[in-house]
Structure formats: C-alpha cells, structure tokens
C-alpha cells in the first residue's frame, strides 16, 4: 500500500517537475544568466576593477562566460538546471506526497481532494516558506554576509522546524475540531506558526549587497516564489486526481463517498 502511494507521488512529482523544468528552461535560465552578467558588470564598475576595459570588451563579444569563469559552460548549466528542476518535483512528490501522504492521510484536515492541497500548503511552508524567513530568495550575483558553511545547516534546520510546526498545527486542529468546530480549531492551529518567529529573531544578520536594479531584483524574487507555489499547486492537483482514480477503482464505500463529494465540488 505504501508502495502504491509512493508510485503515485512519483508520478505526480514527474508532472509537477516537468512543469517546473519548463519554467526553468523558458524563464529562469535566460533571466538568471542576464542578471549574472548584469550583476558582475556592475560589481566590476563599482569596485573600479583594473580589468574593466578587458571585461567590457569580453562582454560585448561573447556573453556566455562571466569574468569569474564558471566551472562549466552555459549550455551545461542550462541543461543540468532543467533536469534538476524535474528531479526536484520528483523528490518532493515522492517524499511529501508519497510517504508523507501515506503516513499522515488519517490526520490531515479536510476530506478527499482537499487533503492534497492542505499537504501541499504544509510542504511549501516547510521546504520553502520557513527557510525563506531566515534566507529570503536572492537574485544572482549578491554577496551574502554569511559564508555558505553557516547558511546550509541553518537552512536545513529551518526546513525541519517548518515541518515540525506544520505537524503541530495539524495535531492541534485534529484535537480541537470535533469539539470546537472548524473555525476555532483552524484559528488555534495557526498559533504553532508563531514558533517560526523565534529562529528569525535569533538568527544572525543576513545582510546582502548587490548591484542589480531593484525592479529586476524584485522580479527575480517574485519568479522564485511564484515558481514554487506553481510547483506545489500542480503537485497537489495531479496527486488528488491520481488518488481519486485509484480509490475509485478500489471502490470501498468510504472512498466512494469522498469521490462523490469531490466530483460535485469540481
């Protein structure tokens, strides 16, 4: 049974991953490359680097390489990034919607299809939302105040804390909604999210400097947030559809009830 759930999760993840891969290929790749060029160019000018004339000439000719010289060519970066985008969807689908949905299904608030969306929201908060409170998405070419060795464990810690807070919120809702009704239980379930403010207040300053125009920087951050929201939405919708179909084939009365309500809701 767990294997069925994970298979379904991987399928949904593949669909969502392909959608996200398309976004990376069509939007993120050219935009990040452009911002990289732009940022490095501005940096060079700002610091009055003696190689300025040199790099400017370089940029006019071939725009593929920056002056720091990435270890791989732009074509490899583009290709690997798209594949990574697909794998990212598969990973989230397998972990959150495969194993996560299997173990947590009885405890997730909602019925039928809506459970998928609740889980997707929790997944977004854990994997992206909580870490972004400490390390907001950054446009390329920024100088971070903290070294990567400090940021990575903090990032991983925020993912775990985010997942913990979501589980806690689910537990609070599950305990209260029978006695107090949905609205009160829902409001009470919001309180655990306050815990996320503790690490945000305690975390060291993560000041960044970059030389991109603020419009471009805002646009890039918006793209990142929108991309992840899109990924989770596609994941939830696809998983809900596959799950509904599988339970319909199995045809138990409880599941049939859920299918009816889901179909009328559509």
Partner 1 sequence: MATANDSVHGRIERAGTELTPTQMAAGLGVVAALGFALLFVQEPTMHDAMHNFRHATGVTCH
Interface residue list for partner 1 (CB under 8 A): 1-3, 6, 23-24, 28-29, 32-33, 70-72, 76-78, 80-82, 84-85, 87-88, 91, 94-95, 99, 102-107, 128, 131-132, 135, 137-140, 144, 148, 151-152, 155-156, 220-221, 223-225, 227-228, 250, 252, 254-255
- Smallest distance from the beta carbon of 207 to partner 1, in angstroms? 14
Cβ contacts of 218-223, under 8 Å, gap ≥ 24: 219/31, 220/31, 220/32, 220/35, 220/137, 220/139, 220/140, 221/136, 221/137, 221/138, 221/139, 223/27, 223/28, 223/31
- Smallest distance from the beta carbon of 49 to partner 1, in angstroms? 20
| Distances from the Cα of 206 to the Cα of 40, 131, 158, 162, angstroms | 21, 12, 15, 19
Identify which of residues 23 and 189 has a Cβ nearer to partner 1 in the complex.
Answer: 23
- Smallest distance from the beta carbon of 196 to partner 1, in angstroms? 17
Return d(Cα 257, Cα 95) in angstroms, integer: 27
| Distances from the Cα of 13 to the Cα of 49, 172, 266, angstroms | 46, 29, 22
Tally of residues, the chain: 266
- Of 49, 38, 63, nearest to 214 (Cα)? 38
Identify which of residues 6 and 240 has a Cβ nearer to partner 1 in the complex.
Answer: 6
Identify which of residues 55 and 138 has a Cβ nearer to partner 1 in the complex.
Answer: 138
Identify which of residues 180 and 256 has a Cβ nearer to partner 1 in the complex.
Answer: 256
Return d(Cα 92, Cα 120) in angstroms, integer: 10
- Smallest distance from the beta carbon of 53 to partner 1, in angstroms? 26
Relative orientation angle of helices 29-47 and 52-61, to the nearest 10 degrees? 160
Identify which of residues 52 and 174 has a Cβ nearer to partner 1 in the complex.
Answer: 174
| CA dihedral over 32, 38, 39, 41, signed as positive or negative | positive
Return d(Cα 180, Cα 174) in angstroms, integer: 11
- Smallest distance from the beta carbon of 84 to partner 1, in angstroms? 4
Identify which of residues 192 and 227 has a Cβ nearer to partner 1 in the complex.
Answer: 227
Identify which of residues 57 and 204 has a Cβ nearer to partner 1 in the complex.
Answer: 204
- Smallest distance from the beta carbon of 229 to partner 1, in angstroms? 11
- Smallest distance from the beta carbon of 113 to partner 1, in angstroms? 18
Radius of gyration of the chain (CA): 22
């Amino acid at each position: 049974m767990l294997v069925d759930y994970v298979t379904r999760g991987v399928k949904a993840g593949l669909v969502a991953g392909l959608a996200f891969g398309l976004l990376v290929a069509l939007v993120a790749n050219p935009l990040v490359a452009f911002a990289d060029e732009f940022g490095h160019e501005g940096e060079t000018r700002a610091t009055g680097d003696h190689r300025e004339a040199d790099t400017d000439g370089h940029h006019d000719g071939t725009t593929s390489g920056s002056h720091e010289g990435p270890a791989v060519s732009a074509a490899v970066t583009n290709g690997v990034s798209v594949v990574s985008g697909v794998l990212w969807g598969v990973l989230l689908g397998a972990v959150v919607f495969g194993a996560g949905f299997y173990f947590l299904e009885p405890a997730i608030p909602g019925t039928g299809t809506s459970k998928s969306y609740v889980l997707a929201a929790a997944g977004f908060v854990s994997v992206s939302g909580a870490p972004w409170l400490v390390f907001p998405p950054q446009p390329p070419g920024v100088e971070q105040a903290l070294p990567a060795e400090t940021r990575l464990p903090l990032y991983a810690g925020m993912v775990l804390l985010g997942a913990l807070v979501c589980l806690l919120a689910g537990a609070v809702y599950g305990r209260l909604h029978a006695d107090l009704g949905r609205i009160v239980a829902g409001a009470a379930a919001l309180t655990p999210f306050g815990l996320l403010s503790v690490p945000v207040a305690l975390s060291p300053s993560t000041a960044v400097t970059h030389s991109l125009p603020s419009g471009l920087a805002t646009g890039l951050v918006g793209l990142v947030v929108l991309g992840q929201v899109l990924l989770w939405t596609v994941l939830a919708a696809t998983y809900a559809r596959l799950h509904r179909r599988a339970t319909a084939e199995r045809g138990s009365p409880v599941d049939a009830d859920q299918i009816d309500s889901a179909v009328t809701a559509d």
